[in-house]
Amino acid sequence: MRSLKDNFSHGGNVYEVERKLGKGVVDFSANINPFGIPSAAKKILRTKIDSLIHYPDPDAYNLKKALARYWNVRQENILVGNGSTELIYLIMSAFNPSSVAIPVPSFSEYERAAGNLKTKIKFIPLEEKQGFKLNATLAGNSDVIFLCNPNNPTGNLILEKRADIKKLSNRLIVMDESFMDFLPDERKYTLIKEAQKSKKIIVLRTLTKFFALAGLRVGYLAAHKSNIDFLKKYQAPWSVNVLAQKAGERVLSDKAYIDKTKKFMDEEREYLYTRISNIRGLSPFISTANYILMKIEDEELTSFTLKGRLLKKGILIRDCSNFRGLDRRFIRVAVRSRRENLKLVKTLEKVL
């Protein structure tokens, strides 16, 4: 029987895997920028190490200023947190809604945060035959709806037009844009500008995926000032450490890294998708993010078995069987470097 821990487990737990295997693995289970930490961030982490003697700025003033400048919004419309996941739980604890709508499959922490509060949850099925697109007519009028755009693990834009948000009658719309950075034209799709004007919209963002700062835990949200002021009352003090604030502030101005990543990801994602499409027994889904969901066509082969075969070859993938709305025929892989992607493709060809 699957445990509660299994239901909400995530990719990227290389520590547990490497303890069991006794060796390192190439991690395709976590969707992190393959270029790694920007050199500018590494430099500031080294030079600012002595600042750890001080408590962090509880307001993250300089980071908020940098984020406001990056998006051309006011600082009063930004709230920084210990990764976007902390902000999901903050939203739930502060607003304490009686009902939540969650499309599935999607990021499991929405469900977990709602479940912790015993909130009534309505699951909205994203149909494979419909390209995992959201049917707004099924969203209902719950107190809160969580939307992941691009969606995790499917990789598609759950809402392709900003105007589509008007079709939703939910009281509060939380748009998780954790992977939006990887789109070359992300400003065409983001709802950050809408969020600063509307009390109905909150946009979640993170620096951990695109800028490879997962271990530092730094995320933020954009919202109307009244929502920011309300959420501040419930946020724990010093939630974002000194180095996370300084590194986050620095990476936002690293235009070379940003442009290089967007160009690479646009090309490498297409390359990996094409190569996987040619592997008999696997059907990948078109993605706009830095990962690809695929379906195992062999009914005798499960995601658990395939993950085990790849682990023996030193490759860790994401078994998607614990995503509500998916089953043991689905896996997800991150888009990594060309060399690593080639290794994945060749290994998949051998083990299938």
Q: Which of 159, 140, 138 is nearest to 97 (CA)?
A: 140
Section 95-121 average pLDDT: 97
Question: Computed from CA positions of residues 189, 195, 196, 197, in that sequence, does the dihedral angle turn out positive or negative?
Answer: positive
Q: What is the pLDDT of residue 293?
A: 98
| Residue 324 to residue 130: CA distance in whole angstroms | 17
Instruction: Give the pair of three-digit tokens for residue 274.
Output: 């094409």
Q: Helix (H, G, I), strand (E, B), or coil: what is residue 134?
A: coil
Query: What does the DSSP assignment read for 7-20?
Result: HT--S--HHHHHHH
Q: Given phi > 0 = left and psi -120 to 50 = alpha, else beta, which region is 85?
A: alpha
Pairing of strands 172-176, 291-296: unpaired
pLDDT in tens, 268-303: 999 999 999 999 999 999 999 999 999 999 989 999
Q: What global pTM score does this model have?
A: 0.93
The residues, any chain, with a CB within 8 Å of residue 205's CB and separated by 6 or more, are 84, 177, 178, 180, 181, 192, 219, 220, 221, 222
Pairing of strands 201-206, 219-222: antiparallel
pLDDT in tens, 38-88: 999 999 999 999 899 999 999 999 999 999 999 999 999 999 999 999 999
| Residue 240 to residue 231: CA distance in whole angstroms | 15
Is residue 10 predicted with pLDDT exceeding 80?
Answer: no
| Residue 52 to residue 56: CA distance in whole angstroms | 8
Whether 158 and 126 have beta carbons less than 8 Å apart is answered as yes
Q: What is the pLDDT of residue 2?
A: 43
| Residue 231 to residue 330: CA distance in whole angstroms | 37
- Whether residue 105 is preceded by a cis peptide bond, meaning omega within 30 degrees of 0, is yes
Length of the chain: 352
| Average pLDDT in the chain | 93
Residue-range domains of the chain with CATH: 4-30+256-351 (3.90.1150.10), 39-253 (3.40.640.10)
| Residue 83 to residue 271: CA distance in whole angstroms | 30
pLDDT in tens, 212-270: 999 999 999 999 999 999 999 999 999 999 999 999 999 999 999 999 999 999 999 99
